[in-house]
Amino acid sequence: MTITHKDYSKIAFPFIISTVTQPLLGAVDTAVIGQMGIAELIGGVAIGTVIMNTIYWLFGFFRVSTTGQSAIALGKGCQSSLINSLMRPFILSASVGFIFIIFQSFIWQGALWVISPDPLVAEQAHLYFCILIYGAPFVLINYSIIGWLMGQAKAKETLYTQVFGNLLNIVLDVIFVFYFDLGVAGVAYASLIAQITTFIIGITIVLKTSNISVSAFLQSTKINKKELSAIVSSNSDLLIRTVCILIFFNMIARTGSQLGTDVLATNAILMQITFIISYMFDGIANASSVFAGKSVGQKDQAMFNQVIKLNAQWTAGFIILLTLLIVIFRNSLILLFTDQIELITLYHTMAPWLIIFPLVAGFGLTTYGIFTGTGTTRPVRDSSLATLFLFLVMLMFTVNWWGNHGLWFAFTAFYLGRIMFLYPFIYKIKQKVI
């Protein structure tokens, strides 16, 4: 099978649009609260977002692994594989979500101990957390649904599912905060309602587009001990990778908190911008994941080589585009989040780190999708451990030397390490398509 830029764009652009709306939610939450002009509220949403993202990212492999297995099943053309590739992660993600609700008090106390925020910030973060924790089952199930749709190359359906839910979240943010004056609770309720709505839409789309009956899905809900062990084993590498990333982001939040509330709030704004950039690259990674998975399912080496080439070309193009956009608009971006002079001043001091971010992060973020789409997870695990070690060692010295600049230097090194330690293992994927 020959893949053209047109074929790639049909998958990539809807995925880019759909994935970039996810960090926009956190950005909108921060921006809406930022307009209230209180740093403690911005910090509270920032800490609350870190805690909830920690919960979700810990099991983010539900989406990643589901995409890979769904793409491979699509390449095989086997209906039972298609059903199992959705239902097994669906059941597990629902179970994990309810466990989070049951143990929410322990999760909060653990997060409070790790991040150690200012008491006023912690109060707002707790309010945010106590509302959004009830969306955990829906968010994790949505990961499995979105991952399955991505693997089936249903780009338009994926786009509709995510964009509708996220736009609903944004609209409710504005209504609850500016019209009902609910503050931090308002942005939390907006997210919860959007998460439930996205779940309903996703299930409906799967049933309407899969040509598989409800009874066929339900017959796959039973998982024996052997099957469960295989699923857990196949996802363990991605779980370790996710833990590494969670340690990374929580250390960023913890160190920023120790540098002061204004630094924490400024870093929260900078991080929201990097999240948006990262998710744009993630859209390219998802497109590469689909085609790479199909190449493994069909044992098509030529197709796999095309995926590598297209992934590199699209990544390079987006690096150039995003760098130019940041250079042009970096002074205006901060005004979308806050009008506080102290935060604006700090932002301008740190903004140069945003300019180099696409260059150091791009290839690591997109190449990762080729590995996960083909189920080649061991190199992902090993490279993540090596990258985290590099970050932690640098963090021990750079913050003491350069303060917040030192923190962002270590942050940048982490993203650079993601491609340095991962790409040398690309040969392991090539062995699967021979």
- What are the tens digits of pLDDT across the range 160-176? 887 888 889 888 988 98
Taking 60 as the threshold, does the pLDDT of residue 94 lie above it? Answer: yes
| pLDDT per position as a tens digit, 379-432 | 988 999 999 999 999 999 999 999 999 999 999 999 999 999 999 998 888 777
- The torsion of the CA quartet 157, 194, 39, 249, rounded to 10 degrees, works out to -50
The per-residue pLDDT for 37 is 65
Q: Give the Cα separation of 153 and 66 in Å (integer).
A: 13
DSSP code, position 181: -
Q: Give the Cα separation of 173 and 170 in Å (integer).
A: 5
- The mean pLDDT value for 112-131 works out to 82
- Amino acid (one-letter) located at 310: L
Query: Which of 84, 125, 354 minimizes the C-alpha distance to 231?
Result: 84
How far, in whole angstroms, is CA 392 from its chain's centroid? 21
In this structure, the number of other CB atoms found within 10 A of the CB of residue 143 comes to 25
Residue with tokens 């492999």: 61
The per-residue pLDDT for 24 is 62
Taking 90 as the threshold, does the pLDDT of residue 312 lie above it? Answer: yes
**With contact defined as beta carbons under 8 Å apart, do 53 and 249 qualify?**
yes
The per-residue pLDDT for 357 is 95
- What is the pLDDT of the chain when averaged over all its residues? 82
Q: Give the Cα separation of 157 and 149 in Å (integer).
A: 7
**With contact defined as beta carbons under 8 Å apart, do 158 and 150 qualify?**
yes
**With contact defined as beta carbons under 8 Å apart, do 20 and 285 qualify?**
no
| pLDDT per position as a tens digit, 263-296 | 888 888 888 889 888 888 888 888 888 888 878 7
**With contact defined as beta carbons under 8 Å apart, do 256 and 269 qualify?**
no
Of 89-98, 148-157, 176-185, least confident by mean pLDDT is 148-157
Percent of the chain clearing pLDDT 70 (strictly above): 87
Taking 90 as the threshold, does the pLDDT of residue 74 lie above it? Answer: no
Q: What confidence category does residue 311 fall into, taking pLDDT thresholds of 50, 70 and 90?
A: very high
Q: Give the Cα separation of 20 and 96 in Å (integer).
A: 25
Encoding tokens for residue 44?
A: 């509270």
Query: Which of 166, 169, 147 minimizes the C-alpha distance to 158?
Result: 147
pTM confidence score:
0.72
The per-residue pLDDT for 214 is 64
Number of domains in the chain: 1
Q: Give the Cα separation of 185 and 173 in Å (integer).
A: 10
Q: What confidence category does residue 227 fall into, taking pLDDT thresholds of 50, 70 and 90?
A: low
The per-residue DSSP string of 374-393 comes to TT--HHHHHHHHHHHHHHHH
> 403 is in which domain, residue-wise?
5-433
Taking 80 as the threshold, does the pLDDT of residue 233 lie above it? Answer: no
**With contact defined as beta carbons under 8 Å apart, do 83 and 216 qualify?**
yes
Most confident of 20-24, 48-52, 134-138, 142-146: 134-138
Residue with tokens 């696409």: 358
Phi, then psi, of 169 in degrees rounded to 5: -60, -45
Q: Give the Cα separation of 229 and 200 in Å (integer).
A: 29
Burial of 174 (0-12, 13-18, 19+ CB in 10 A): middle
Q: How many helices (H) and strands (E) does the chain have?
A: 18, 0
The per-residue pLDDT for 8 is 84
Encoding tokens for residue 119?
A: 């008491």
SS3 at position 222: coil
- Sign of the C-alpha dihedral, residues 129, 134, 139, 144? positive
367 or 154: which carries more pLDDT confidence? 367
Encoding tokens for residue 211?
A: 């040509």
- Sign of the C-alpha dihedral, residues 51, 57, 58, 62? positive
Taking 80 as the threshold, does the pLDDT of residue 104 lie above it? Answer: yes
- The mean pLDDT value for 42-61 works out to 75
Q: Give the Cα separation of 270 and 275 in Å (integer).
A: 9
Taking 70 as the threshold, does the pLDDT of residue 219 lie above it? Answer: no
- The mean pLDDT value for 78-97 works out to 77
The per-residue pLDDT for 212 is 67
Give the CB-side neighbour count of residue 239, counting CA atoms within 13 A.
7
- The mean pLDDT value for 68-74 works out to 73
Q: What confidence category does residue 225 fall into, taking pLDDT thresholds of 50, 70 and 90?
A: low
Q: Give the Cα separation of 213 and 381 in Å (integer).
A: 37
Q: Give the Cα separation of 190 and 169 in Å (integer).
A: 5
Percent of the chain clearing pLDDT 90 (strictly above): 22
Taking 90 as the threshold, does the pLDDT of residue 15 lie above it? Answer: no
Q: Give the Cα separation of 95 and 295 in Å (integer).
A: 32
